[in-house]
Amino acid sequence: MKVLITGSAGLIGSESAKFFAEKGFEVVGIDNDMRKYFFGDDASTDWNLKKIQTQLKKQYTHYKADIRDNEEIEKIFKKHKFDLIIHTAAQPSHDWAAREPFTDFTVNANGTLVMLENMRKHCPGAVFIFTSTNKVYGDRPNELPLIELDKRWELPETHKYYNGIDESMSIDDCKHSIFGASKVAADIMVQEYGAYFDFKTAVFRGGCLTGPSHSGAELHGFLAYLIKCIASGKKYTIFGYKGKQVRDNIHSHDLVNAFWHFYQKPQAGGQVYNIGGARNSNISMLEAIEKIEKLLGKKANYELSDQNRIGDHIWYVSDVSKFKSHYPDWEFEYDTDAILEEMCAAVKVK
C-alpha cells in the first residue's frame, strides 16, 4: 500500500505520514516549505521534515515539488502507484491571502486541480482526501443569535446549531475572505470529481486543527502561536470580539484517524464532512490564555484589538454527527485539556 501526502512536513501532513507508516503504508511526501515563504523563518517546516525522515527512514520518500507544477507532479504519479492521496498542502491564512491573491488561489485551487487530475489519469481507484476549512462558510456563522458571556460567545442551548454547525449551512451570499474563496473553489472541485467521475473523494472541512507538530505563526495556527508567545513572553494580539471568540480544536491525530476510517470504507460521490473538536473540545481566546498560563506558570503578554479579521468567525463549533453516522467506531482521543497539556509540554522541552 502506498500513500501520497502533500504538505507532508506540516501539521496534518506529518501526522498522516507517521500514522499511515505505522499502518504499513509506503509514504511519499510532497512539501517545498512554502510555509516559510508565507510566514517567515519561524514558521518553516524544515525541522519537522527532518524529524519525519529520521523517524520513518526508507519508508518515506520526499519530493520538494510545487503542487502547482503539473509537469513535476505528473512525474511523481508516473513513478508511483497510489492507493491513497491526502492533500493537505495549502496557503492557510486570511490576511496573507489578501497580500498575494494570485499565489493564494493558484496554491489552493489550481494546486488541488493538479492533484485531482493526476489522480484521474494515473490512479482513478485511489481514495482522495482533501483538508478543506470551515472558512468556506464565510462569515455566515456570525449571523447566529450569539449571547455574550463573561469569557465567551455562545449559542442558546435550544438553537439547532448549539451542538455544532453541520454541512447544511449555506456557503453563499456571505463574505469569505480571499483565502476562504480559494478554498471554496478547491472544496467544490474535490466534490465534483467525486460526483462527476464517481471517484472516492472526501472533503474534510476542519475547525482549528492543532497539535505539537504545528509551526504556529501570527497569521495561522492560533493555539500553537499563542502557546509560543506566552512561553517566550512575546506580545500576542487578539483581533476583535473582545477575546471571547470561540473555536473548536481537533488534535491532528484525531483528524488523521478520521482519514483512516474513511479510507477503510470509502464512499464515492464526493462526500463532505464538517470535522473539528465539536462540543468535545472548544475554547475561547480568553479561556485558552487562562489555561495556558496555568500550564506554563507564566502570565500572558497580550493586547485586545478592536479590529477583527475580515471573514473571521465569532463562534464556530463543528457538528461531526454526519461523519459519526458513517463511521460510528471513530471517537475523539483528545479534549481541550489534553491538547493544551501536550502542546505546552512540547514547548517546555524545546
Q: For 43-68, how does the pLDDT look when each residue is reduced to its tens digit (9 = 90+)? A: 899 999 999 999 999 999 999 999 99
pLDDT of residue 42: 81
pLDDT of residue 218: 55
Q: For 93-107, how does the pLDDT look when each residue is reduced to its tens digit (9 = 90+)? A: 888 999 999 999 999
Q: Cell digits for 9? A: 512536513
Question: How many residues are recorded in the chain?
Answer: 350
Q: For 310-328, how does the pLDDT look when each residue is reduced to its tens digit (9 = 90+)? A: 778 999 999 999 999 999 9
Number of domains in the chain: 1
User: Is 224's pLDDT higher than 90?
Assistant: no
pLDDT of residue 216: 55
Residue 86, classed as helix, strand or coil, is: strand
Residue 128 CA: distances (Å) to CA of 87, 107, 222, 272: 8, 18, 28, 12
The answer to whether residues 147 and 106 touch, using CB atoms and an 8 Å cutoff, is: no
Model confidence, pTM:
0.94
* Average pLDDT value for residue range 237-263: 96
Of 147, 47, 149, 129, give the one whose Cα is nearest residue 84. Answer: 129
**Phi–psi pair at 101, nearest 5 degrees:** -60, -35
pLDDT of residue 350: 55
Of 320, 332, 9, 272, give the one whose Cα is nearest residue 129. Answer: 272
pLDDT of residue 211: 84
Q: For 265-280, how does the pLDDT look when each residue is reduced to its tens digit (9 = 90+)? A: 998 789 999 999 999 9
User: Is 349's pLDDT higher than 70?
Assistant: no
The answer to whether residues 259 and 86 touch, using CB atoms and an 8 Å cutoff, is: yes
* b (16+ CB within 10 A) / e for 31-68: bbbbbbebbeeebbbeebbeebbeebeebbbbbebbbb
pLDDT of residue 348: 67
More confident of the two residues 42 and 78: 78
Q: Where are the beta strands (DSSP E) in 163-301?
A: 200-206, 208-210, 236-239, 246-251, 271-275, 282-284
pLDDT of residue 347: 82
pLDDT of residue 118: 98
Q: For 9-41, how does the pLDDT look when each residue is reduced to its tens digit (9 = 90+)? A: 999 999 999 999 999 999 999 999 999 999 888
Q: What is the CATH number of the domain that holds 330?
A: 3.40.50.720
Arithmetic mean of pLDDT over the chain: 94
CA 48, 212, 126, 107 torsion-angle sign:
negative
Of 134, 136, 129, give the one whose Cα is nearest residue 16. Answer: 129
* Average pLDDT value for residue range 335-343: 95
Q: Cell digits for 209? A: 486543527
Angle (CA) 145 147 153, round 5°: 110
* Average pLDDT value for residue range 222-244: 90
* Average pLDDT value for residue range 214-242: 80
Q: For 111-125, how does the pLDDT look when each residue is reduced to its tens digit (9 = 90+)? A: 999 999 999 999 999
The answer to whether residues 292 and 137 touch, using CB atoms and an 8 Å cutoff, is: no
Q: For 188-203, how does the pLDDT look when each residue is reduced to its tens digit (9 = 90+)? A: 999 999 999 999 999 9
Alpha-carbon distance of 33 to 36, in angstroms, equals: 6
Strands 2-6 and 84-87: parallel
User: Is 247's pLDDT higher than 60?
Assistant: yes
- Its domain, for residue 123, covers 2-349
Q: What percent of the chain has pLDDT over 70?
A: 97
